[in-house]
Amino acid sequence: MDGEFGYRTLAVHGGRDDLGRLGVHAPPIDLSTTYPIADLRDAGAAFDALAEGEAEAANPIYARLLSPTCARFERALAALESAEDAVAFGSGMAALTAVLLSFPDDRRTVLGVRPLYGGTDHLLESGLLAVDVRWVEVDQIASACTPDVGLVIVESPTNPTLEEVDIAAVCAAAGGVPVLVDNTFATPVLQRPLELGAAFVLHSATKYLGGHGDALGGIVATDGERARRLRQTRILTGGVLHPLGAYLMHRGLATLPVRVRAAEACAAELARRFAADPRVDRVYYPGLAGAPRPSQMDGTGAMISIDLDGGTERAAAFMGRLEIATPAVSLGSVDTLVQHPASLTHRLVGEAGRREGEISDDLIRISVGLEDVEDLWRDFSDAL
Q: Does 188 bind ligand PLP (CB under 6 A)?
A: no
Residue 60 or 299: the one with the smaller Cβ distance to ligand PLP is: 299
In the sheet that holds 337-339, the strands lie side by side as: 282-284, 303-307, 363-367, 337-339, 326-327
Q: Does 208 bind ligand PLP (CB under 6 A)?
A: no
Q: Does 89 bind ligand PLP (CB under 6 A)?
A: no
Both ends of the chain: CA-CA distance in Å?
47
Residue 69 or 206: the one with the smaller Cβ distance to ligand PLP is: 206
Site mask for ligand PLP (CB under 6 A), range 127-166, x = bound: ----------------------------x---x-------
* Nearest alpha-carbon partner for 367 in 159, 63, 72, 73: 159
User: In the Cβ-directed half-sphere of 146, how many Cα atoms lie within 13 Å?
Assistant: 10
* Nearest alpha-carbon partner for 233 in 33, 35, 69, 96: 96
Q: Does 218 bind ligand PLP (CB under 6 A)?
A: yes
- Selected from 191, 204, 305, 336, the binder of ligand PLP by CB under 6 A is 204
Site mask for ligand PLP (CB under 6 A), range 102-121, x = bound: ---------------x-xx-
CB of 159 to ligand PLP, least distance (A): 5
DSSP 188-202: HHH--GGGGT-SEEE
- Selected from 59, 109, 184, 296, the binder of ligand PLP by CB under 6 A is 184
Q: Does 85 bind ligand PLP (CB under 6 A)?
A: no
Contacts of 191 (CB under 8 A, 6+ apart): 156, 167, 183, 296, 297, 298
**Cis, peptide link before residue 147, omega less than 30° from 0:** no
Q: What is the rounded CA–CA span in Å between residue 321 and residue 329?
A: 17
CB of 288 to ligand PLP, least distance (A): 20
Q: Which among 53-61, 90-98, 227-235, 317-325 is the span making contact with ligand PLP, rule CB under 6 A?
A: 90-98
* Nearest alpha-carbon partner for 356 in 131, 113, 165: 113
Site mask for ligand PLP (CB under 6 A), range 43-82, x = bound: ----------------------------------------
Contacts of 257 (CB under 8 A, 6+ apart): 7, 8, 11, 189
Residues that bind ligand PLP (CB under 6 A): 91-93, 117, 119-120, 155, 159, 182, 184-185, 204, 206-207, 216, 218
